Structure 1
Amino acid sequence: MAAGVERVGEVAQPRVRAWGTVLRADTTAGPVWLKAPGPATVFEVPLYRLLATMVPRFVLDPIAIDLQRGWVLLPDGGPTLREQIGDRDLSEVMTRVLPQYAELQLELQPHAEDLLAAGVTDMRPAVMPQRFDEALEVTGRYAETSGDAEAKERHAWIAGQRAEFTARCADLPDRASLDHNDLHTNNILGGPDDSVRFYDWGDSVLAHSFSSMLIPLLALTKLLDVGPDDDQVRRPRDAYLEVFGNPAELVAELDLACWIGKVARTLVWERSLHGDPGEYADAPLETLWSLRMNSWHFPA
């Protein structure tokens, strides 16, 4: 091939999901991974090229990209953080890792238009009232077709929150950057004591930077079985915020960004499933229903 790499083994397909598939092959340069995103997340292919140019120390550098087919060929990035540590020392490890993600976001803040041009969806505060209406359409369809009375009640309650949601969007500063939108230890490559690289950008959106903490903070509470105010959650959160300024002055902004980011997460679920919900059919409604929790919290 043009990169001077030849396959020396059989091709395996370890993951197939509604939102895409990944293939693995051994080559003369070591293992490589071919990712073929689904049609709604194919923007990930040009995005990899853009990130490798703008923030190369934080991402994998693609070996090859096929824009016509929507494929990206990536080198092996080594084991994921989850494979190395499981849930052990999770709070301490994320206290070291999340500031690296904050640095990536700071470096990308001047490049919002480039991210949009690559196909990243706009979820900045100014457009989120419109996105709220789009999310309501998604949950409304599910509530109607499911025939579930509780789903209909939840959808009706959410619809009644539009005015408050719109008002709170206006309170959020435009601190826009790339929101990974699924930032957990299985999407982080590298050792717990080293620099890491962030992987799997198919859920990403352009949003308030702090909304990226929705998934990591939720994961910490669930995997460690602690409350949202536990020190094992606060330490990683504050380490992330310190990259932007004084954590004590930014916590309320983070809570609001994550609360608003639940609408983005709802729409990310919808575009990933693209008509084939399967076991995740109720995920958009459950995500939007969590707006009743007044920050990044989800119900227990």
Structure 2
Amino acid sequence: MAQWIKTWTEDGWRAEVLSWVDMACEAYSIKRIGAPQSASSSIRATHLRVPTDAGLLFFKAVAPGQLFEPPVTAAAASLVPERLVMPLAIDPDRGWMLSPDYGATLDELATTPALWVRALGALGQLQRELVPCEEALFDAGLQILDPAWIPEEFNNALTLHASLPAEHPLGIPARDADHAFAALKDIEEACAQLIAGPIPLSLEHGSFDRRRVFAPTDESTAPRILNLGDAHWAHPFASLARPIERMRIDFRAQADDPRIIAAIGAYLAAWGDYGSPDELYALVAPALRISPLHTHETWLQLLAEADEPALLRWAPKVLEPLAELAATTA
């Protein structure tokens, strides 16, 4: 168990949270009417449901490696208020965030192709609207992963892991690093395609699926997207990796299934001022090719302050994306 997870279970920590939540509620003339209830907890974050006289609120405390999430969420939501959940309060130093409830998320509804079309269309619109906002999100703490840097990042990652002692949870044998390095040319080609393409960098969500989208109340309401803890400022099409994987499971289908293609088409349509979905579809494969490095960077940062037991448990989450990147088939 990582040290911060232990902290989240301590009575003193819970008392600090309650004091902070009450202070935040008072600023909105809201009163807490019951004890917060644990919602979920993982190495990334812990969540509490907070009952108030104005409805349910959600408290989130993030791991030290993702302290950027509350300020980035607040900054992004101020720029596109109809597409994200604006926190009622944040504490950037402690990684705390208190947010309103917008009802059910899309994963609580029956899976249909139409839901995936709606979800990916909303993601594309969010990313398209945030294109001019790099400076504001960078200032809030969002890390940049430009495709122009990805080959060097891949090389640096292999060097890092190969240089660690063999017994270290994040160490890999030199021969495995050499084998993985053979994929560098393929990764360079994928990055070159993305750089040559018309799509600018934007918010790459990193872990988008139907759990990250609140169900809209009507057809005219834009779905609100949440959970930016795995986000980067990067090629936005890399955000399709997780949805395609999930749709293949939902539909028990291959990636070229018409239902999946339709959802990707809805996503690409949001970028219509850069080209038609048919024209932009060629950039999906190279974006998917480099997306594992985004995942690697997220987990490496997440485990930067982890103790040895946590490293032993979670090290595969760091190393598996490198193995995926090393695959010779793009």
Please give the TM-score of this superposition, normalised by the length of structure 2: 0.80
State whether structure 2 residue 276 is matched by structure 1 residue 249.
no
Q: Which residue in 2 is equivalent to 1:19?
A: 44
Partner deviation per Cα, 1:227-273 (whole Å, 9 max, x = no partner): 11111211111111122231221122111112112211111122234
Change (3 A) 1:144 1:230: farther
Match of 1:206 among 224, 233, 252: 233
- Among residues 179, 197, 207, which one is paired with 1:182 in the alignment? 207
In the TM superposition, residue 144 of structure 1 has moved relative to its aligned partner by 3.2
Are 2:281 and 1:281 equivalent residues in the alignment?
no
Asked if the contact 1:139–1:284 (Cα under 8 Å) also holds between the matched residues in 2, the reply is no
Query: Given the superposition, is the C-alpha separation of residues 148 and 236 from structure 1 closer, same or farther in structure 2, using an over 3 Å criterion?
Result: same
Would the aligned equivalents of 1:221 and 1:228 in 2 still touch at CA under 8 Å? yes
Distance 1:179 1:99 in 2: 14
Q: Which runs of 5+ in 1 are unaligned?
A: 296-300
Note if 1:223 corresponds to 2:250.
yes
**1:111 alignment counterpart:** 133
What is the alpha-carbon distance in structure 1 between the residues aligned to residue 114 and residue 32 of structure 2? 39
Q: In structure 2, do the counterparts of structure 1 residues 137 and 75 end up closer, same or farther at CA, with 3 Å as the change threshold?
A: farther
Matches within 5 A, 1:58-137: 58-85=83-110, 88-89=111-112, 91-137=113-159
Deviates further, 23-32 or 187-196: 187-196
In the alignment, the residues of structure 2 paired with residue 280 and residue 147 of structure 1 have an alpha-carbon distance, to the nearest angstrom, of: 9
8 Å CA contact retained: 2:170, 2:315: no
Residues 57 and 289 (structure 1 numbering): CA distance in 2 closer, same or farther, change over 3 Å?
A: same
Partner of residue 57, structure 1: 82
- Secondary structure in structure 2 of the residue aligned to 1:57: coil
Contact 2:121 2:266 in 1 (8 A): yes
Aligned position for 2:294: 264
- For residues 212 and 239 of structure 1, the distance between their equivalents in structure 2, rounded to whole angstroms, comes to 14
Provide the secondary structure at the position in 1 that maps to 2:194. coil
SS in 2 for 1:40: helix
2:156, 2:82 → 1: CA distance?
Answer: 36
Q: 2:161·2:171 contact (CA, 8 Å) conserved in 1?
A: no
Structure 2: give runs of 5+ residues left out of the alignment: 1-25
- Tell me by how many angstroms 1:163 deviates: 3.8
CA distance in 1, matches of 2:266, 2:311: 36
What do you get for the CA RMSD once the two structures are aligned?
A: 2.5
Instruction: Assess if the C-alpha contact under 8 Å between 2:37 and 2:48 holds in 1.
Output: yes
Letter matched to residue 252 of structure 1 = A
Measured at CA, do residues 175 and 99 of structure 1 come closer, stay the same or move farther in structure 2, by a change above 3 Å? same
Deviation digits for residues 192-218 of structure 1 (CA, Å, limit 9, x no counterpart): 964311111100001111111111111
Deviation at 1:154, TM superposition (A): 4.8
Pick which of 125-134 and 146-155 moved more. 146-155
Q: Deviations over 1:8-44 (max 9, x none)?
A: 0111222221122112110111111111111111101
In structure 2, the CA distance between the partners of 1:148 and 1:115, relative to structure 1 (3 Å rule), is closer
In 2, the alpha carbon distance for the partners of 1:229 and 1:36 equals: 38
> After superposition, what is the alpha-carbon deviation per residue over 1:70-124, rounded to whole angstroms, capped at 9, x for unaligned?
2111011211111122xx21x2211122112111111100111221111111111
2:324 equivalent in structure 1: 290
SS in 2 for 1:74: strand
Write the distance in 1 (CA, Å) between the matches of 2:250 and 2:42. Answer: 24
8 Å contact from structure 2 (residues 67, 94) kept in 1: no
The answer to whether the Cα contact below 8 Å between 1:49 and 1:61 also exists between their aligned partners in 2 is yes
Secondary structure of 1:125 counterpart:
coil
Percent identity among equivalent residues?
A: 28
Q: CA distance change for structure 1 residues 277 and 2 in 2, over 3 Å: closer, same or farther?
A: same
**CA separation of 1:219/1:142 partners in 2, compared to 1, >3 Å: closer, same or farther?**
farther
TM-score when normalising by structure 1: 0.88
Question: Is the contact between residue 161 and residue 172 of structure 2 (CA under 8 Å) also seen in structure 1?
Answer: no
